[in-house]
Structures are given as C-alpha cells and as structure tokens.
Amino acid sequence: MADVSLSVRHYMSNRLATLYERQDIREAVKVFTERNLFGGAVLDNLGNLVGILSVTDCIDVALRSGYHSGWRGTVGERMSRDVRTVDAEDSILDVAKMFMDDHYRRYPVVDDNRVVGVITRLDVLKALRTIGDSGFPV
C-alpha cells in the first residue's frame, strides 16, 4: 500500500481571492470574473477571516442595481458572516462527511487562524479517488 496523506493540506487549492470588508463590491466582481473564481475570503485589517463573499452575493447586487441605478455597496455589506472553516491538518475523510451533511460547496482552509486555501467538493472527490487508487481503505 502506498504512503498516502489524509490531510486537507495536500488536496486544497490556493486559488482563493482575499477581499476586505471596506472594498467596493465592483472590485470583488472584477476579481471573480477575471480570475474565474466562485467566491472569496473576506479579511479584516488584521488578516482575520470575518466572512465569505460568493458570486451569488454579487449576482444579487447586479440584479438589484437595475432598480437602484448602479452597483453600490461594500464587500462587508454583502458578505456572509457565518463561515464554516476546516483546518489544514483535518482529515479529508472528515471533510467529505461535512460536505455530505451540509449545503456548502467549499470551505476556507485555515492554518494557525489564517486562511491558506479553499477545499471544494471536487477537491474532496479527487482526493478520495487518489486515496482509493492507493489501496487505502476509505
């Protein structure tokens, strides 16, 4: 049996936008559309995670802008503050179970209380395939 890691760190992506509460929502939209991202971690001035802004949040702003003449607001006004995270050293199997129990599509990954990446459902599926192919019982 091959040596295989179960740590989230080995399967997460570091393709995560970092945004700030006071940032204009239009700047976030530009980041998402130019980098083909589905969301970003919102940090305070000290670098602590305080929220998540998703593409869906931005679509809501865009739809409302038609009625209110222009894209207005800050990232902090539109973000979700209820954020579930996983630790970089968590087991990928535990995260797989979290995805089965929750409606989330991705979790920010933290290490020492700092955002270091993101883990998606597809990342977990790829990890499970790698683990299964290695002969490790899942």
pTM of the model: 0.83
Looking at the domain assignment, is residue 54 inside a domain?
yes
- 84 within a domain of the structure (yes/no): yes
Mean pLDDT of the chain: 89
Query: What are the φ/ψ torsions at residue 66 (nearest 5 degrees)?
Result: -60, -30
Q: What is the mean pLDDT of residues 101-123?
A: 92
Residue 1: inside a domain = no
**Taking 50 as the threshold, does the pLDDT of residue 34 lie above it?**
yes
Considering the domain boundaries, does residue 105 fall inside one? yes
Total count of domains within the chain: 1
CA distances from 46 to 21, 95, 113 (A): 12, 27, 11
Domain range enclosing 41: 8-133
Residue 6 has pLDDT above 90, yes or no: yes
pLDDT, position 68: 59
What CATH number does the domain containing 40 carry? 3.10.580.10
- Residue 100 exposed, middle or buried by CB count within 10 Å (0-12, 13-18, 19+): exposed
Using one digit for the tens of pLDDT, what is the confidence trace for 42-75?
999 888 899 999 999 998 888 877 665 667 789 9
Position 2 in a domain: no
Q: Please report the DSSP string for the chain in residue order.
A: ------BGGGT-B---EEEETTSBHHHHHHHHHHHT-SEEEEE-TTS-EEEEEEHHHHHHHHHHHHHHTS---BHHHHSB-----EETTSBHHHHHHHHHHS--SEEEEEETTEEEEEEEHHHHHHHHHHHHHTT---
Residue 3 within a domain: no
Give dist(CA 4, CA 127) in Å, integer.
Answer: 10
Residue 99 lies in a domain: yes
Identify whether 79 is part of a domain. Answer: yes
